[in-house]
Amino acid sequence: MTRSIVAAVALSVLPALAHDAPSGFTYLPSCCSSTDCRPADTGEVVEKDGGWLVVPSHTWLPANDLRLHEAPDGRFHVCNKVAGDRLSEPWCVYLPSFGS
């Protein structure tokens, strides 16, 4: 039992690991914990009212939001937690052309 507690504590202090997009660039570690980022489906992120709307989570981000990043592969990407059929508010959104 003591070993499992020590192992759990040791693992809990490890930093979150970033992972790569299918196109090969690496998502920022602050955006994900190894599985939370993915390319967005068509229409999932749309420009609206001077910012960006992540449609499934109904989250609107102003154009200067620190969660917005440029996607080197020219695609939209969303980083959030998927729980069943619910999505959390995004931690990060990657835009095809930053600031467009």
The widest CA-to-CA distance across the chain, in whole angstroms, is: 55
Q: Give residue limits of the domains in the chain.
A: 37-100
Two structure tokens written together for 15: 């930093």
**Could you read off the pLDDT tens digit of each residue along the chain, which spans 100 residues?**
555 444 444 444 344 556 788 888 888 888 887 778 999 999 999 999 999 999 988 999 999 999 999 999 999 999 988 776 667 889 999 999 865 4
3-state secondary structure of 4: helix
